[in-house]
Structure 1
Amino acid sequence: MTASARSRPRFAGALLLGVPALALLLFFVHPLATVLWRSVTDADGALTLANFMRLSDDPGLPRAAWHSVAIGLATTACTVPIGLVVAMALHRSRLRGKRLIRGVLVLPMLAPSLVLGLGLVCLLGHNGLVHRLTGLPTDIYGFWGLLLANTMYGLPQATIIVSAALARTPARHYDAATSMGATDWRQFVDVTLPRLRFALLAAAFLVFTETLTDFGSAVVVGGGYRVLAMEIYSEVVGQLDFAMGATLGVLLLAPALLSVWLGRMAKRRQDSGDASPGRPLVPAHDLRRDTLLGAVTWIALLPVIAVVATVAYVSLVKLWPYDRALTLANYMAGMPDGYGPVATSLGVSLLAACVGTPMVFALAAGLRRAPVAVARPVQFLASLPAAVPGMVLGLGYVLTFNHGPLSPWLYGSALLVAACSLYHYHAQSFLTMQTGMRQAPEALEDAVLVFGGETRHVLRDAILPFAAPAAVSTFFYLFMRSLVTLSGVIFLVTPELGLASVTVMRLDENGFLAQAAAYAMCVVLAGGLALGAMRLLLHLIKDRRHVA
């Protein structure tokens, strides 16, 4: 092999790593640094702490910070135990209807978080369905409404994390406990809980972070219970005070960074357990256990069903809540902007997925052979977006791309919104792709190179066959999360670039709940179709592997 031939793989590897790394610096690190810089400078660009000193001038800001922490802790305390019960029902019972349980769990993930708040308002608000049917006074606004909305939104994520840990717990541990005469309760206390401790911690930190940084539910059902995300929105949109918005963003960023870091540590400890879990546990028949787990699970899922069903019902109502005659007008002439916002959201989401998946694939592939001194900082940067709230990143995009050499091409464009969505959800996409690529043996890459293959042949013949499921999952994850995001794009929409999630919020603010519900159900339907397509593709890939 000539020197030029040997240099080609090294150059291609550097290109694979360099292009996505530069994009990460431009579209993530730069906006984040801009927010940090803006929080410690005045209008003339001089360093100052005056912005942070102003926090004590408004008593509402410290109160909002405390409210954010309080609702985060309360939501975590409610969500994690319920997620544990639901995961136990799915993996440690003979309960029937598990597919239906999983289907209900998916519902909160198919729509922006504000849709759950919208459903709560239509169900339990002052003029909600319950009040209209029974005459009972109902008031869902404030702390308890936020707690219920955030618990419903965080429950699927907590259940997924705990379920993954339960699936990795080998049956031999329970066989040994049974042989020693341990009861089912002792096995739960002495075997299951110790194996789940890090997963429960990871779920707790994830739910806390999501709740702390959520904007959608807060803006709909928060009422007078102000949280930091609402204050950031008010400072930037209401008062055009970008300096205070950036300062509040840094204040929101600090606990989110700490929470995500602790969550990552807990997840690494969990993943460092059995590399080969062995035979999975098949739960024995136990009517009392299954009845108890099933009852708690369905009681926990009932609010999700009721809220989503209420949104679907309201979308078919002529004039909520005064004229409840059923009609399809809200899906036709009743839509103020037609299907434009839905089409724009689909286009932006498709752009984020089509651009993001190859970029994440290239970054993960480039890191496989990168030197440790290069791989470690790039790995850190690629995982860091998980700790940055979407609202902080979106504010960074406004401060960074509103002016400067790139603003004529980027500001107010679908590309910028797609980039914000991509790098908001970059961490999970990258980690999913990296996990998939670990299935590809390095010896196979070496064999392709030895037989004269170039980097493109290595990617096509040695890596892609193993990473294909991860690539499909990454594509649809980026598509679906970009479709439902609100906090990351709330500052980036323009009159010419309307998104469905933002349109739902605007219509709700103006009292057009039926039209808002119609847009929300369009998003839910699009997300459900995308989820079905993802599962079909993964199934086809699995069948093709079996045939091969």
Structure 2
Amino acid sequence: MNISNLKERVSKKLDTQFYNILDKILIVLIFISVLIFILWPIMSVIKESFFKNGSFTLDLYKNIFMDNRKIIKNSLFISIVCTIITTILSTCISIYISFSNKKVKKVILIILMLTMISPPFVSSLSYITLFGRRGLITHKLLNLTLNTYGWQGIVIMESLSFIPLSTLIMIGIINGIDTRVIDASLDLGASISETIIKIVIPLMKPAIVVCALLVFVRSLSDFGTPMIIGGSFTVLATEVYTNVISNGNFKVAAVMSVLILIPALVAFIFYRIYMKDTNVFSKEKGQLFKEGSRYKLKGSMKFIFSFVTYLFVIIMLLQYTAIFIQAITKFKYGKIYLTLDNIKSMAEYSMGSFGRSIIYSLIVAVVGSFLGVIISYFVDRRKIIGMKYIDFIATLPYIVPGTFFGIGYILAFNKYPLELTGTSFIVIVNCIFKQLPMTTKMGSAVLTQVDQEIEQASKDLGASNIVVIKDIILPMLKPAFISGFINNFTATMTTIGSIIFLIYPGEKVATVEMFNSIQSGEYGVGAAMATFIIIITLTINILFSKRLLGGKNVFQS
């Protein structure tokens, strides 16, 4: 053996050892990061709510129930009503879309997707613009001065904001139904209406149950809508916000957050039970979505479903038109004037927040997407010992209310050895791990389509685990990475619930500035901010969707 061959063998052995060490370091870092940035904050809130002066106690819970009965009743009332309204309307809209022609599908889906990339409180802001004391419809058109604040406004606006996601989830379930089941029902003499009532809706039960539970939890944890249009009507989520921001009472806020968490855990359990595959679903997902137009809705069902759908579409168009009008107009002396003052005011004191939002969103999009696909690979393919527990913990942020997660970060990272409060890092990390569940699920979904033999062949040729990840897994998981990138960017750009407690005055992001401007009555400035956030988010969505679809716009698919 000559010296050059010996050097080459030594070099390869060193490279292999280096890659093996790097692989182990990556696994350890994932374990540690998930435990520190997800489990620890959650446990910190629970601990804060049960311990006082180092001793276990239930006194705080007893006091909360005794002193806040009305608030708890208000929260449950709003959540139940929103759940009923949203579930019924989403069911009608999802069925109508699924059984419509391609053009109708396309238009309505674009509107649904637009609402998914909008910042929070857009519904509340448009509600004030259209139906407030000086609203364009109530005051300007109908010459009425009404007090439209209270529980009615909360229910309407929350329901409208929850409908798009619920509808998309239900469409996903409907699209998995095997069309042969529908054809069999029609061949046996049932009408399309009877088939939908007796076949389609019962098969939608998993989605209906999950959507109802998710809406209930989201309504229970929503603090922004009640604060903006609730008036004197208070709920648990607003009390959590007030206790942290105004009173600095983290113990009370922790107890209330745990109370909100309990139904979220129930929702998660039902999700795991009901979202199991059954033999009535086709392996060719999207089959009904492609063929739905050949099943024509008729009679009263068509009238009801189409009425609900187009009423929702009109309201959404009216909502976003109102936001745009509010951004470029001012109301003076009983008349509306076109102006750029709102945009100028926004530029004067909040352009820095837009820059921070974009930078934070890009970092979260890249790091969060990479972390998500790697975890999905370790769980589904490498099957590393203990990684399933990490995957379960990584799923928790999906069901934990945003305010709960934000308070957890304050309690967990306000002292040595990880004193992170007041830094940009804590905001970025919070957003990364809050959105992690969605990215891991995207990675798992794409992995099912990747042939495992390719990975095995590369290992047989001597490739190390890190080389397999770098050269095989990451390129093949590109669709999951890009989808995760889009989702993480959008979520970070439009989020507020989990980060509102972590943002310091000099380091605000665009959504927090928007929330503050609406709270202070500067609705025009808030509308201008909302418009810019939508434009930025929509641009990123379109650009990266084109890459995901090989140059084809997502809205053309």
For residues 250 and 536 of structure 2, what CA distance do their matches in structure 1 show? 34
For residues 333 and 38 of structure 2, what CA distance do their matches in structure 1 show? 43
For residues 278 and 211 of structure 2, what CA distance do their matches in structure 1 show? 11
For residues 274 and 343 of structure 1, what CA distance do their matches in structure 2 show? 45
For residues 35 and 316 of structure 1, what CA distance do their matches in structure 2 show? 43
Instruction: Rate the CA distance shift 1:191–1:28 in 2: closer, same or farther, 3 A.
Output: same
The corresponding residue for 1:98 is: 105
Instruction: Rate the CA distance shift 1:278–1:73 in 2: closer, same or farther, 3 A.
Output: closer
Q: Kindly indicate whether residue 253 of structure 2 is the aligned counterpart of residue 241 of structure 1.
A: no
Instruction: Rate the CA distance shift 1:3–1:307 in 2: closer, same or farther, 3 A.
Output: same
* 1:37 pairs with one of 38, 47, 67: 47
CA contact (8 A) 2:31 2:390 kept: yes
Q: Kindly indicate whether residue 426 of structure 2 is the aligned counterpart of residue 416 of structure 1.
A: yes
Mind listing any 5+ residue stretches in structure 2 that lack a counterpart? 1-8
The corresponding residue for 2:321 is: 309
Alpha-carbon offset, residue 12 of structure 1: 5.1
Alpha-carbon offset, residue 132 of structure 1: 2.5
Q: Kindly indicate whether residue 364 of structure 2 is the aligned counterpart of residue 355 of structure 1.
A: no
For residues 91 and 252 of structure 1, what CA distance do their matches in structure 2 show? 34
For residues 287 and 452 of structure 1, what CA distance do their matches in structure 2 show? 59
For residues 200 and 297 of structure 2, what CA distance do their matches in structure 1 show? 20
For residues 370 and 526 of structure 1, what CA distance do their matches in structure 2 show? 38
- TM-score, with structure 1 as normaliser: 0.91
Instruction: Rate the CA distance shift 1:8–1:84 in 2: closer, same or farther, 3 A.
Output: farther
Instruction: Rate the CA distance shift 1:322–1:494 in 2: closer, same or farther, 3 A.
Output: farther
The corresponding residue for 1:180 is: 188
Q: Kindly indicate whether residue 34 of structure 2 is the aligned counterpart of residue 27 of structure 1.
A: no
The corresponding residue for 2:160 is: 152
* 1:47 pairs with one of 50, 56, 71: 56
Alpha-carbon offset, residue 491 of structure 1: 0.5
For residues 103 and 13 of structure 1, what CA distance do their matches in structure 2 show? 42
Alpha-carbon offset, residue 361 of structure 1: 1.8
For residues 172 and 295 of structure 1, what CA distance do their matches in structure 2 show? 28
For residues 322 and 518 of structure 1, what CA distance do their matches in structure 2 show? 21
Q: Which moved more, 1:22-31 or 1:298-307?
A: 298-307
For residues 406 and 226 of structure 1, what CA distance do their matches in structure 2 show? 35
For residues 336 and 212 of structure 1, what CA distance do their matches in structure 2 show? 36
Q: Kindly indicate whether residue 92 of structure 2 is the aligned counterpart of residue 85 of structure 1.
A: yes
Q: Kindly indicate whether residue 203 of structure 2 is the aligned counterpart of residue 195 of structure 1.
A: yes
Q: Kindly indicate whether residue 146 of structure 2 is the aligned counterpart of residue 138 of structure 1.
A: yes
1:29-428 matched pairs, under 5 angstroms: 29-42=39-52, 44-58=53-67, 61-94=68-101, 96-133=103-140, 134-269=142-277, 273-276=281-284, 280=288, 281-284=291-294, 286=296, 288=298, 293-318=305-330, 324-333=336-345, 335-371=347-383, 373-407=385-419, 410-428=420-438
CA contact (8 A) 2:120 2:511 kept: no
CA contact (8 A) 1:209 1:260 kept: no
Letter of the 2:228 partner, please give it: V
- TM-score, with structure 2 as normaliser: 0.90
For residues 201 and 348 of structure 1, what CA distance do their matches in structure 2 show? 35
1:220-246 deviations in whole A, cap 9, x for unaligned?
Answer: 112222111100011111111111111
For residues 551 and 29 of structure 2, what CA distance do their matches in structure 1 show? 29
For residues 75 and 472 of structure 1, what CA distance do their matches in structure 2 show? 33
For residues 265 and 403 of structure 1, what CA distance do their matches in structure 2 show? 40
The corresponding residue for 2:6 is: none
Alpha-carbon offset, residue 370 of structure 1: 4.4
For residues 372 and 458 of structure 1, what CA distance do their matches in structure 2 show? 15
Alpha-carbon offset, residue 367 of structure 1: 1.8
Letter of the 2:494 partner, please give it: V
The corresponding residue for 2:5 is: none
Instruction: Rate the CA distance shift 1:370–1:496 in 2: closer, same or farther, 3 A.
Output: same
Instruction: Rate the CA distance shift 1:63–1:469 in 2: closer, same or farther, 3 A.
Output: same
Secondary structure, aligned partner of 2:367: helix
CA contact (8 A) 2:364 2:488 kept: yes
Secondary structure, aligned partner of 2:276: helix
For residues 102 and 375 of structure 2, what CA distance do their matches in structure 1 show? 42
For residues 401 and 431 of structure 2, what CA distance do their matches in structure 1 show? 11
CA contact (8 A) 1:8 1:454 kept: no
Alpha-carbon offset, residue 335 of structure 1: 4.2
1:373-404 deviations in whole A, cap 9, x for unaligned?
Answer: 51331221111111211101101111122222
Alpha-carbon offset, residue 279 of structure 1: 5.3
Q: Which moved more, 1:241-250 or 1:86-95?
A: 86-95
CA contact (8 A) 1:203 1:263 kept: no
Instruction: Rate the CA distance shift 1:47–1:282 in 2: closer, same or farther, 3 A.
Output: closer
For residues 348 and 235 of structure 2, what CA distance do their matches in structure 1 show? 30
Secondary structure, aligned partner of 2:54: coil
1:62-101 deviations in whole A, cap 9, x for unaligned?
Answer: 2222222221221111112221222222221237433221
For residues 265 and 209 of structure 1, what CA distance do their matches in structure 2 show? 17
Alpha-carbon offset, residue 450 of structure 1: 0.5
Instruction: Rate the CA distance shift 1:16–1:541 in 2: closer, same or farther, 3 A.
Output: farther
What percentage of aligned pairs have identical amino acids? 24
The corresponding residue for 1:515 is: 525
Letter of the 1:52 partner, please give it: Y
Q: Kindly indicate whether residue 497 of structure 2 is the aligned counterpart of residue 487 of structure 1.
A: yes
CA contact (8 A) 1:130 1:138 kept: no
Letter of the 2:121 partner, please give it: L
The corresponding residue for 2:545 is: 535
For residues 501 and 381 of structure 2, what CA distance do their matches in structure 1 show? 39
For residues 518 and 77 of structure 1, what CA distance do their matches in structure 2 show? 33
Mind listing any 5+ residue stretches in structure 1 that lack a counterpart? 544-548
1:90-146 deviations in whole A, cap 9, x for unaligned?
Answer: 221237433221122123222233121111111111222223312124333222111
Alpha-carbon offset, residue 445 of structure 1: 0.9
The corresponding residue for 1:546 is: none
Instruction: Rate the CA distance shift 1:285–1:259 in 2: closer, same or farther, 3 A.
Output: closer
CA contact (8 A) 2:372 2:440 kept: yes
CA contact (8 A) 2:365 2:485 kept: yes
For residues 279 and 145 of structure 1, what CA distance do their matches in structure 2 show? 39
* 2:508 pairs with one of 495, 498, 506: 498
CA contact (8 A) 2:328 2:339 kept: yes
Secondary structure, aligned partner of 1:496: helix
* 2:483 pairs with one of 448, 473, 476: 473
For residues 383 and 272 of structure 1, what CA distance do their matches in structure 2 show? 27
Secondary structure, aligned partner of 1:18: helix
Q: Which moved more, 1:63-72 or 1:88-97?
A: 88-97
1:233-290 deviations in whole A, cap 9, x for unaligned?
Answer: 1111111111111111111111111112212322234699443469543432747466
Alpha-carbon offset, residue 475 of structure 1: 0.9
CA contact (8 A) 1:108 1:116 kept: no
For residues 231 and 20 of structure 1, what CA distance do their matches in structure 2 show? 35
CA contact (8 A) 1:314 1:320 kept: no
For residues 15 and 282 of structure 1, what CA distance do their matches in structure 2 show? 50
CA contact (8 A) 1:21 1:363 kept: no
Alpha-carbon offset, residue 322 of structure 1: 5.9
> Paired residues, what number?
538
For residues 375 and 484 of structure 1, what CA distance do their matches in structure 2 show? 31
